[in-house]
Amino acid sequence: MGSDARRRRAVLISLLTISLGACGSGIEPAGEAARRIDRLTTTMFWLGLIPMVVVVGIIVAIVLWRRRHRSPVTERHFVMGGGVVFSILLLVPVIVLTAVTQLNLGIDGDDRLEIEITGHQWWWDIRYVTDDGMVRTANELHVPTDTPIDLRLTSADVIHSVWIPELHGKIDLIPDQVNTLEIHVDEPGVYEGNCAEFCGIAHALMRLLVVAHPPAEFETWLAEETAPPQVDVDIATMQEFANSCAPCHTVRGLFDDHAYEGDFGPDLTHLASRRMIGANILPNTPEALARWIVDPEGAKPGNRMPDVGLDAEELTQILDLLRQLDGHG
């Protein structure tokens, strides 16, 4: 293919991509902050597009006019009018609108729910402080709708960034610092988020699911999540779990002894009730769990979980125990 044909094809593909992008990404704001950001983005889009069309029109008109007449518009007029005055008239409203939107991204309201989220390479640690103590989960953030929520964000290692486009803009999770993201979710549903700051090899596989419930249903979820799961396994399985999994993972209430509560990896207390595993990159099925345990590096390259070398019988025992970590009706 000649270079002209290649160039034409590249232009065509770009135009097609842009037009398809304009058809809408399917992401609709599902919360107050996201709605404000969406309004600002739409305004900025039109503030960019309309002047662009006008400017291109003026340039074409001048070119055509100058072919036949001596133009009354000099270069000086063009530079001062188009480059300076016009730009100021356009950019000042954009700056003001952006500043006003940023200052108004907070969510008002008393009776706020506070949730602590800590970014790790490459998963999300989530904690709720309740009257009955602390509830810890991972990678699946359950929230009530119609409630002002403060997400208190920090990091255990490097800088991460959380972005749930339907709910809010991005915000960094920084070690030794707590940033707050105020969200308000309109409707029950599942919203997808991701880490939005390059944080190492598995950065793109550090996903977050937000599951929004009606307030009463959320209270039930939290109460169930607070209770330890009912596990019925033999002593050999408990021993295997204590040796192979507990050094890094906690299952609240599984052991009387807090010595078996590792916190290097995600809390597994109600693992069986979660939709996905591996920070939401694999479905939560026995097959995917087995694959994750036997070949963590293959399932999620770079991740910190070692292959603990289980034989077939030990794997069956561990899978049986993990399957029982439910506790949600």
Nearer to ligand CUA, 203 or 249 (CB): 203
* Gap between the Cα atoms of 318 and 281, Å rounded: 21
Contact footprint for ligand CUA (CB under 6 A) = 119, 122, 160, 195, 197-199, 203, 206
Q: Please, what is the minimum distance in Å from the beta carbon of residue 270 to ligand CUA?
A: 23
Nearer to ligand CUA, 165 or 229 (CB): 165
Most distant CA atoms of the chain, gap in Å:
96
Are 156 and 264 in contact, with CB atoms under 8 Å apart?
no
* Gap between the Cα atoms of 257 and 261, Å rounded: 8
Are 208 and 139 in contact, with CB atoms under 8 Å apart?
yes
Q: Please, what is the minimum distance in Å from the beta carbon of residue 161 to ligand CUA?
A: 7
Helices of type H across 113-246: 215-226, 235-244
Nearer to ligand CUA, 40 or 277 (CB): 277
Nearer to ligand CUA, 184 or 300 (CB): 300
* Gap between the Cα atoms of 67 and 70, Å rounded: 8
List the beta bridge partners of residue 120: 123
Q: Please, what is the minimum distance in Å from the beta carbon of residue 199 to ligand CUA?
A: 3
Nearer to ligand CUA, 34 or 202 (CB): 202
Q: Please, what is the minimum distance in Å from the beta carbon of residue 175 to ligand CUA?
A: 12
Cβ–Cβ contacts within 10 Å for residue 200, how many? 14
Q: Read out DSSP for 309-320? A: ---HHHHHHHHH
Q: Please, what is the minimum distance in Å from the beta carbon of residue 119 to ligand CUA?
A: 6
Phi-psi region of 24 (alpha: psi -120 to 50; beta: other; left: phi over 0): left
Q: Please, what is the minimum distance in Å from the beta carbon of residue 168 to ligand CUA?
A: 17
Nearer to ligand CUA, 33 or 196 (CB): 196
Q: Please, what is the minimum distance in Å from the beta carbon of residue 208 to ligand CUA?
A: 10
Nearer to ligand CUA, 163 or 255 (CB): 163
Three-state SS sequence of 211-275: EEECHHHHHHHHHHHHCCCCCCCCHHHHHHHHHHCCCCCCCCCCCCCHHHCCCCCCCCCCHHHCC
